[in-house]
Amino acid sequence: MDDREEILKRVKEEVIALKASPLYKDRVENNYFPVIGEGDHNAKIMFVGEAPGQNEAKTGRPFVGRAGKVLDELLKSIGIERKDVYITNIVKDRPPGNRDPLPEEINIYAPFLDRQISAIKPKVIATLGRFSMQYVMTRYGLDFEVEGISRIHGQVFDTTIEGESVKVVPLYHPAAAIYNQHLLDTLKEDFKILAKL
């Protein structure tokens, strides 16, 4: 097993055993799974969402509900297969009632995301939604660029992670496009930028 596989395996084991999380009790009571991430461990593009929903918590897989179908459709629109990217969230357990993740939940799970990014070494990190945009941009030295997602979605920001140049592309969360056709069109345009990268 190479270092990359070893790191990702350890991340998974640690998240599964994370009793310190405020969401752990809810996971156990509902027979939910943590959602660690899935896809190609050598992926050039990594998608970072916010937190799992109910379908994700029931299966332990990211983006398998309606938002996942939108994401699959967007990937297909640029000729990229889901198996060729890596998909994860900042928060690895479902917040009750699909509410937004709280700052302390982001703080407890974010180091696992950092280790996933460090192991996979993506060339492009596409953030899905404002929480992941805010975290990733602030964490990787782009905090001075952070604005509302409606202003910076689809833009490409250059940063460096562990000496490697990485592009960060903030995107709307696919769930936002379920009820808003206009946002789906915007996401399709933004995904064309990913295809170019």
Neighbours of 49 (CB within 10 A): 29
Return d(Cα 182, Cα 185) in angstroms, integer. 5
For residue range 14-63, list pLDDT tens digits in order: 999 999 999 999 999 999 999 999 999 999 999 999 999 999 999 999 99
Give this prediction's pTM.
Answer: 0.96
pLDDT score of 181: 84
Task: Enumerate domains of the chain plus CATH numbers.
Answer: 3-196 (3.40.470.10)
Chunked mean pLDDT (size 10), the chain, 197 residues: 88 96 94 96 96 95 94 96 96 93 95 97 96 96 89 95 96 90 92 92
Asked whether the beta carbons of 146 and 134 are under 8 A apart, the reply is yes
Q: What is the identity of the amino acid at 189?
A: E
> Roughly what angle, to the nearest 10 degrees, separates helices 3-16 and 103-120?
160
Give the alpha-carbon dihedral of 37, 38, 41, 46, to 10 degrees.
-70
- pLDDT of amino acid 98: 83
Q: Long-range contact list for 186-193, CB < 8 A, 24+ apart?
A: 186/153, 186/154, 187/70, 187/74, 188/74, 188/77, 189/154, 190/153, 190/154, 191/74, 191/75, 191/77, 191/78, 192/78, 193/154, 193/156, 193/169
What is the DSSP pairing of strand 124-128 with strand 157-161? unpaired
Residue 197 is predicted with a pLDDT of 86
Residue 167 Cα distances to 88, 123, 137, angstroms: 17, 6, 10
Please tell me the predicted confidence (pLDDT) of residue 71.
Answer: 96
Nearest alpha carbon to residue 23 among 145, 142, 107:
107
CB 153 within 8 A of CB 186: yes
Tokens of 178: 């379920």
Local structure of 143: helix, strand or coil:
helix
pLDDT given at position 1:
62
